[in-house]
Amino acid sequence: MLEQRQLTWDNNPGDTSKHVHGYLDRGFAPVPVEFRSKVCKLKDWPNLRLDHEDVADLFKSPCNIGIILGKSSGGLVDIDLDCAEAIALAPHMLPATGMLFGRESKPRSHLLYRVHNSGKRLQLADPDDGMLVELRAEGCMTVFPGSIHESGEEIRFDEDGEPAEIEYGELTRCVQHLAAGSLLLRHYSRASGTSSP
C-alpha cells in the first residue's frame, strides 16, 4: 500500500505546488527540502523568503516542503513529540491547538502554535534514552505535510486548522512539564514492568 502511495506521489508534481501555495497564503515561509529528507541544500535558507512566483522553479517534484519557524512564519512554533510517552501525555499537558500533524506510525506528533516572541529552540531529553520533546522556534525548520518522511511514510495533517496563540514563557513551561511527565511515565513503566504507551 505504501509503495503504491509513493508512486502516485512521485508522479503528481502538482501536489507539492498546491501545498506550497497554501502555506504562502497562510503567511508561512516554505523552503524546498530534498525528497524523503530533512535537508535543505539552499545556501542561507533561514533568510530565504519566497513568493508564489518562485514555487515552480524551486519546488520540483519529488520534493519535500520545509517551513521556517519563528518570525519568518508569523511566530509559528512546532512542538515535536519525539517519544510515545510525550505523544500520549500531550493532550493532557499542552494547550489545545487547531494545527497538528504526523505520519501513520507517529500521528499527532507535531503541534503548532503562534507565539508573539517566538524565542529559541528548547530540546529536552532523557539522559539515558534520547529526545523526549523539542520546542522548535527561531532558527529552526520543520518538514510539513506535502512531504514524505525518511521512513517512506506520508507526512499528513491530523487537524488542519489555525495554530493556537500563546506566550513563549507559558508554552515553554508546558513543554518542560510534558518532558518531566514523559520521563516519569517511561521510568515508572520500566520499574513496574508495565508497557509504555
Domain that holds residue 137: 2-192
pLDDT in tens, 124-178: 999 888 999 999 999 999 999 999 999 999 999 999 999 999 999 999 999 999 9
Per residue in 6-37, pLDDT tens? 434 443 445 899 999 999 999 999 999 999 99
Does the pLDDT value for residue 86 go beyond 70?
Answer: yes
Please tell me the predicted confidence (pLDDT) of residue 60: 84
Is residue 144 one of the residues assigned to a domain? yes
Average pLDDT over the chain, rounded to an integer:
90
186 domain-assigned: yes
The answer to the question of residue 197 being in a domain is no
- Flag whether 58 is in a domain: yes
Three-state SS string over the chain comes to CHHHHHHHHHCCHHHHHHHHHHHHHCCCEEEEECCCCCCCCCCCHHHCCCCHHHHHHHCCCCCEEEEECEHHHCCEEEEEECCHHHHHHHHHHCCCCCEEEEECCEEEEEEEEECCCCCCCEEEEECCCEEEEEEECCCCEEECCCCECCCCCECEEEEECCCEECCHHHHHHHHHHHHHHHHHHHHHHHHHCCCCC
82 lies in a domain? yes
Q: Is residue 24 part of a domain?
A: yes
Q: Is the pLDDT of residue 46 over 70?
A: yes
Report the pLDDT averaged over residues 62-75: 96
**93 lies in some domain:** yes
User: In this structure, is residue 138 part of a structural domain?
Assistant: yes
pLDDT of residue 81: 98
The answer to pTM > 0.85 is: yes
Our count of domains for the chain comes to 1
Average pLDDT rounded to a whole number, residues 86-98: 97
